[in-house]
A and B are shown apart, each in its own frame.
Chain A
Amino acid sequence: MLSRSAQGLYWMGRYLERAERLCRLLRLQVETLVDRPIREIYSGWSRIYASLNREPPVGGLELGANDDFTLADSYTLADDLTFERTNPDSVWSSFAKGRENARQTRHCISSEMWTCLNLAYLRVQELSIGDIWRVSPERFYAEIVRDLDTFAGVAEATMYRGEGWNFLQLGRHIERVQLSVALLLAQIATDRSQDEAYGADWTSLLHLHQAFDAYGRSYSIEVQPDRVLDLLVGDPLLPGSLCRSLDSVASELAAIPPGPASDAEAALQRLASRLCSLVRNDWPDTEDRQELLEQVGEQSRNLHRGVSAAYVDYDTADTS
């Protein structure tokens, strides 16, 4: 497959995963606006911005503010994270870039996938923060998540399982790994800054990963940060756990036919295996979990660079 098309599919996977994850986060966050204490609302916004490695816009986030100010600030922050065109991390930006990658590679995806994604994009494009805030912002975010879930299902059902599929999935899983690591580290940092771990924050992480029921079955209804981490990082049965995402990265890499840059390709596969092993084997016994997560985060960025080196930006000498 054309390297640029593979790259386009890879980025489509990444951007759509990014848009979906942020929508899930925002859905949880706007739900807290209904009845949760200001500390939790503040903490939620902080966590989102920290996970994006981004400063909130001027005027947002004051822990000492009253209800009215908190709600007004939340409106500003939600707009920044949802519709702001100049924010490269906003839902709109990620969605638009994912859809643009799909537009440029629509000869490589099924027509059903394109139509599904394009329809979802057109719906988002017509809205503004004022539209969604008036009625039910959580419903808006839930609908986008549902659209993107539908897209994933349509892709699953209709896309040919060739290299295009592998690169799409690769992008999705690498993005998921990076987002999960960033979010978990942001939560750990928040706990440290507050000198206290709040169950509500960790519970919302479980909801974000659709892991609340699984947690209850594996442990109990009492939410403990270490147990949440065990589940979200090391449980191979939980869809979206770090462990499972990394396994998926390794299996997608293994499925891609041999590329021209054999050294770069071998290094990439070794890195993926090492990361899987780190999370599967080292995680349960590690004492400094934050450090291990940082290591996974750093190495996942190398994964990204490795994909490019092996299949896109390889040296063409002697490959013809």
Chain B
Amino acid sequence: MDFADYELNDEVYDEMFLPDGTPRGHCLSLHETLQQLSVDELRGIQERVTRSFSNEGVTFTVYGDEEADERILPIDCLPRVLPGGEWLQLENGLTQRLGALNRFLDDVYGEARILSDGVIPRDLVHGCPQYREEMRGVSVPHGSWISICGTDLVRTGQGFQVLEDNLRVPSGVSYMIANRKAVKSSLRRLYRRYRVREVEHYGRLLLETLRELAPAGNADPCIALLTPGVYNSAFYEHIFLAREIGAELVEGRDLRVEDGFVYMRTTSGLKRVDVIYRRVDDDFLDPTVFRSDSLLGVPGLMRAHRLGNVALANAPGTGVADDKSVYAYVPDMIRYYLGEEPILANVETFLCRRPEDLEYTLDNLENLVVKRVGESGGYGMLVGPHSTPAEREQNARQVRADPAGFVSQPVLALSRSPCLIENRAEPRHVDLRPFALHGRRTRIVPGAFCRVALRRGSLVVNSSQGGGGKDVWVLEN
């Protein structure tokens, strides 16, 4: 396959090529290998990768009008390569950021010094829908409120920036591992030559992390993964992770709380559960505390948690730290708690709750991305340059009606990476979601789920909206 028609753009960072069209140093072998492969051979590789997802049932669920549809995530077979040095910087930045975010949560649900000191407006935090008053005064093991984090990073001309901290129930790690398995076996020689760092031990690191959260230092805790159930779009991942860590995959109806302890219903009777890796949102965790109409949760679970009898990962209330408004203050948190300058930059963010930011946002809708603070997954988002006047007008009305419910950011020129599209290499915008774990300490597997906006020109990488995935090869130093 040749790259003769491969389109480069001075304003967009290309993950494989320098602006003059020569491959970046760490992509030389990949480029050379791809050039040696015929289009048919590459198509065969792509088919094998796709088929392996299909055969293994690596699916996500999309809901139509009538029935749920199990879909295969489109995976591009061309890996994205990250040199070891670059990764080290990301790893340090993520560790720093996760440390500060955990300190922030410990603080806002404790003494709230950061609010008293006026670093972050108190009303912003307390007005956040994800702020959980019920967690005030609760202490969590090792201050690990966020035990599993999936940060969305993007690369622009200014380097890597954090787009979002996903601190509630981040998903995608199973795709990172499935991608690796599929791509590695299809590009065997190249993989060997590259000395790529492994990601398959993620399950072991997750298990170590969860064990460290066990109440009273129980060295062999009973761990369960709480799923909303088979209809959840990430159900495959839940079952994959349960298998990886040897935990039972439970639904709310399998659990009950008695005398402040959590038990699961087994064939041998009720068995006590010490740690729950929950993939259920806060709202649905405990109908006696949060949404009373929740059928997914466990009555009494929050009481057991507050008593310290069961650990929840992530702890309830972490959503306040990945609120799209609070996000703007994370660099300040890093300075406040750690006395360090942020290693990873934030994306410039305009908080519409501030009158000057609101005015700027409304005046520049066609150049901005406007996001609802409470939404995720790319929903409720206006991408200014791709919007119609009518959509902008509608959005402006919504923003004016509820300024605090919106933030805006400049449209980022996300980096692009070559993808195999209709038998030729074409650039597509990508982001990067590495996964960090935190128990007694931070653990990060050297890899990530790289999301790809497969539609030409699109910046939306979400799988629910036409996004796909790519394997990420982090190289040894």
Q: Do these two chains interact?
A: yes
Binding site for B on A (CB under 8 A): 1-6, 100, 103-104, 106-107, 114-115, 118-119, 122, 163, 167, 256-260, 311-312, 314, 316, 319-320
User: Which residues of A are found within 8 Å of B230, using beta-carbon distances?
Assistant: 100, 103-104
B419 contacts A by Cβ under 8 Å: no
Among candidates B240, B256, B258, B267, residue contacting A6 with C-beta atoms closer than 8 Å: B267
The answer to whether A5 touches B249, judged by C-beta atoms less than 8 angstroms apart, is yes
Give the distance to chain B from A158, nearest Cβ to Cβ, in Å: 14
A158 to B268, CA, bound (A): 24
Give the distance to chain B from A160, nearest Cβ to Cβ, in Å: 12
Among candidates A118, A260, A316, residue contacting B57 with C-beta atoms closer than 8 Å: A118
The answer to whether A122 touches B266, judged by C-beta atoms less than 8 angstroms apart, is no
Interface members, chain B 294-324 (any A CB < 8 Å)? none
The answer to whether A258 touches B268, judged by C-beta atoms less than 8 angstroms apart, is yes
Residue of B nearest to A121 (CB): B57
A130 to B256, CA, bound (A): 50
Q: Which interface residue of B230, B269, B270 has the most chain A CB atoms within 10 A?
A: B269
The answer to whether A3 touches B266, judged by C-beta atoms less than 8 angstroms apart, is yes
User: Which residues of A are found within 8 Å of B265, using beta-carbon distances?
Assistant: 2-4, 312, 316
The answer to whether B268 touches A118, judged by C-beta atoms less than 8 angstroms apart, is no
Binding site for A on B (CB under 8 A): 54-57, 230, 239-240, 242-243, 248-251, 253-254, 256, 258, 261, 263-270, 272
Give the distance to chain A from B123, nearest Cβ to Cβ, in Å: 44
A259 to B55, CA, bound (A): 36
Residue of B nearest to A119 (CB): B55
Question: Given A115-B56, A320-B263, are A107 and B249 neighbors across the interface (CB < 8 Å)?
Answer: yes
Residue of A nearest to B243 (CB): A107
User: Which residues of A are found within 8 Å of B239, using beta-carbon distances?
Assistant: 103-104, 106-107
21 A-B pairs with CB atoms under 8 Å apart are A1-B266, A1-B268, A3-B266, A103-B230, A104-B230, A104-B239, A107-B243, A107-B249, A115-B56, A115-B57, A119-B55, A122-B54, A122-B55, A259-B267, A259-B269, A260-B268, A260-B270, A312-B265, A316-B256, A319-B269, A320-B261
A119 to B254, CA, bound (A): 30
A167 to B143, CA, bound (A): 42
User: Which residues of A are found within 8 Å of B263, using beta-carbon distances?
Assistant: 320
Q: Which interface residue of A103, A119, A167, A259 has the most chain B CB atoms within 10 A?
A: A103
User: Which residues of B are found within 8 Å of A312, using beta-carbon distances?
Assistant: 265, 267
Residue of B nearest to A313 (CB): B265
Give the distance to chain A from B228, nearest Cβ to Cβ, in Å: 13
Residue of A nearest to B56 (CB): A115
List 15 additional A-B contacts (Cβ < 8 Å) besides A2-B264, A3-B265, A314-B269.
A1-B267, A1-B268, A2-B254, A2-B265, A3-B254, A5-B248, A104-B239, A115-B56, A118-B55, A118-B57, A259-B267, A319-B269, A320-B258, A320-B261, A320-B272
Give the distance to chain B from A278, nearest Cβ to Cβ, in Å: 27
User: Which residues of B are found within 8 Å of A100, using beta-carbon distances?
Assistant: 230
Give the distance to chain B from A217, nearest Cβ to Cβ, in Å: 41
